[in-house]
A and B are shown apart, each in its own frame.
Chain A
Amino acid sequence: MSTDECVNLLRGEEGQVLKVSFLGRASASWRYQLKILFSYRMHLALEIIDIVLSAMIYYFVSFLVSPDELASLGYSRDYIAFSISGIALSRYIWTSVSRLAHKMRHEINAGTFESLAAIDTDNFRSWLVGQVLYGFTWSSMWFIGTLLIGYGLSDEFSKNPYMLLQATLIVILVVAVHSAIGIIAAGMYIIHKQLETMLVLLSTIIEFFGGVIYPLSILLNYPVLYYVSLMIPFTHGLELFRRTIIDNTPIYEPKMLFHLGALLVFLPLLYVSFKVFEYYLNKAKRLALLSAY
């Protein structure tokens, strides 16, 4: 029997079992994951310790940093605000990007991915959207927690609601652009399996070229590295975020518009990412690789 005959034999009529709306199912997928998270209280407590200590490391590193050097490179003199804004955004991106691939790995290893992917497309998509939403909820908690510690440790963070609104919009844009990487990675994970370390490497590269804990202007001493950094969307996102939330620079300033434009160039990648994911999922279905790990 050919693969197509086999698939036809098992196929049920579309819409047969769909009684709940797409959004309802996506929200159910999001809520069940949150319920799992909150049932592991110790896990949650340890995560909070993780957030606090990772921010506090840079609080103490800030005692070593020269404020004059930082100011001469075009930033505010406060290294705590500088580093915590960088860490908060990079971790936000990292957790958002890796969440879906991580979930894929979990389901594949536990042997439940095949069952999930074998249900009709709409159900699978709603599950996927729910998981992505959960990823953002979880990383948003991390992001807000780190920023709150930053506000507690430094006076340099903006309290202007208008600037905070701009910063929020920038974060949404940065996350949207980088989600594409996460969706592509998750798709590739279905076939190539060992991709989580690649995501770790990616986050390290992002931290290095994005200037998370050091001012990007230092890279001007190494022009090749500086130009490479300008090709990474995160560099522009972080620059926009820092200038807004620390220096109160409005988004319509020419320098900010340059970074905004550079970031928007990467937005179509989001559409491409869904196509790539679908391609890998279909390929894995056809090759019966969904349950292999």
Chain B
Amino acid sequence: MEIDSVLSLMTTEIQGHVSSLGKIWAAALRRAKIRLNYKTWMLFDFASTIFMVFTYFLLSFIIMPYDIKRAGYGSSYFTFAVIGIAISHYMTASMRSLSLTIRLEQFYGTLETILSTPTDFIILFLGDLLYFLMYSTVFLVIILPLGIILGASMYINIETIVTLTVLITLLIASNLPIGIISAAMILRYKQGNPIGWAITWINQFFAGTYFPITLLPSYAKYVSMLLPLTFSLDAIRYSLIWGVTILNGRVLLDTAIMIIYTIIGLPISIVIFRKIYNNVRRRGGLSAY
């Protein structure tokens, strides 16, 4: 019997109707409920990030401000670092949440069941992503005030908060294609962690999470320019350090670049994912890990 005949035999009409937004919310809630079961895990996760803030606070005692100033980020290395740490969870959410979810479901053998439901995988992914965004926002809300208490100099007002919200949305959207392609690779090659680590390290290194990219040699800067995270970090830091909004020239340019990355990257990555996903599904490889 042909694959298509088997599929048509098993295809049924979708019963009942739940809106896409409702499904996304339900998927986010599902992930949140699973995670909330592991309270100790969450506590340790928060504690690790807080210790990281203190580590960079102590490191800043021996840092000279010249290069930070030259890169346009004021004169405090701690402020520079704490903003990077505060938004690092958004970076992870956009680049690794999908692949982490796929790898986990793949490993537990539940991926086939989940992806075989009438609900589109994009809906499920968006739900997971929504959960990770909420989780990352809790981090942001804790880390930024902690940084300010320890002496980081930032402008937090209505205007910068609105700008920050827009920039974070763009950070997620522009980096999401990398996450989607990485998830597709996991679906295809069944190799979880190394791809995720490599993406994290490459981004942390070339996008200037811990040091300004002006320190990189000129050839390495080309790699930085290829990563949307470079522009996301620059815009967020510049806005919070100088108290400027999205209308500022430098922030506006970064925003435009992030929009371009999103417009080009998202459709391409979704096409790649769908192609790999359909291929794996047809070959019956969803349950293999």
C-alpha gap A233/B255 in the complex (Å): 47
Q: From A40, A54, A64, give the contact of B77 (CB < 8 A).
A: A64
- In the complex, A255 has a CB within 8 A of chain B: no
- In the complex, A124 has a CB within 8 A of chain B: no
C-alpha gap A42/B68 in the complex (Å): 36
Q: Are B58 and A40 in contact (CB under 8 A)?
A: no
Residue of A nearest to B107 (CB): A109
- In the complex, A43 has a CB within 8 A of chain B: yes
Q: Are A60 and B216 in contact (CB under 8 A)?
A: yes
Q: Are A53 and B201 in contact (CB under 8 A)?
A: yes
User: How many A residues touch the partner, as a band?
Assistant: 35 or more
Which stretch, A15-23, A201-209, A263-271, touches the partner chain B? A201-209
- In the complex, A61 has a CB within 8 A of chain B: yes
- In the complex, A47 has a CB within 8 A of chain B: yes
Contact flag A66-B210 (CB < 8 Å), given A50-B201, A53-B201: no
Contact flag A215-B51 (CB < 8 Å), given A53-B205, A57-B211: no
Apart from A66-B62, A212-B55, what 6 extra A-B contacts exist at CB < 8 Å?
A53-B205, A64-B215, A73-B62, A198-B44, A208-B52, A213-B59
Residue of A nearest to B193 (CB): A43
- In the complex, A228 has a CB within 8 A of chain B: no
* Shortest beta-carbon distance from A178 to chain B in Å: 18
Residue of A nearest to B216 (CB): A60
Residue of A nearest to B206 (CB): A53
Q: From B47, B55, B64, B191, give the contact of A201 (CB < 8 A).
A: B47
- In the complex, A219 has a CB within 8 A of chain B: yes
Q: Cβ of A201: which chain B residues have Cβ within 8 Å of it?
A: 44, 47-48, 51
Contact flag A54-B201 (CB < 8 Å), given A40-B191, A61-B210: yes
- In the complex, B16 has a CB within 8 A of chain A: no
Residue of B nearest to A110 (CB): B107
- In the complex, A200 has a CB within 8 A of chain B: yes
Residue of A nearest to B52 (CB): A204
Q: From B41, B61, B210, give the contact of A214 (CB < 8 A).
A: B61
Interface centre among A61, A64, A65, by most chain B C-beta atoms within 10 angstroms, is: A64
Interface positions of B from 167 to 198, Cβ below 8 Å from A: 189, 191, 194-195, 197-198
Q: Are B40 and A194 in contact (CB under 8 A)?
A: yes
Q: From A47, A198, A207, give the contact of B194 (CB < 8 A).
A: A47
Q: From A60, A194, A219, give the contact of B38 (CB < 8 A).
A: A194
- In the complex, B54 has a CB within 8 A of chain A: yes
* Shortest beta-carbon distance from A233 to chain B in Å: 18
Q: Are A215 and B62 in contact (CB under 8 A)?
A: yes
- In the complex, A227 has a CB within 8 A of chain B: no
Contact flag A207-B55 (CB < 8 Å), given A56-B205, A61-B210, A65-B64: yes
* Shortest beta-carbon distance from A225 to chain B in Å: 9
* Shortest beta-carbon distance from A75 to chain B in Å: 10
Q: Cβ of A73: which chain B residues have Cβ within 8 Å of it?
A: 62
Contact flag A49-B198 (CB < 8 Å), given A56-B205, A218-B61: yes
* Shortest beta-carbon distance from A37 to chain B in Å: 11
- In the complex, A69 has a CB within 8 A of chain B: yes
- In the complex, B252 has a CB within 8 A of chain A: no
- The 25 sampled A-B contact pairs (Cβ below 8 Å) are A40-B194, A42-B194, A46-B194, A49-B201, A50-B194, A57-B204, A60-B210, A61-B59, A64-B77, A64-B211, A65-B64, A66-B62, A109-B108, A197-B44, A197-B45, A198-B40, A198-B44, A200-B44, A201-B44, A201-B51, A204-B47, A208-B51, A213-B55, A214-B55, A218-B58
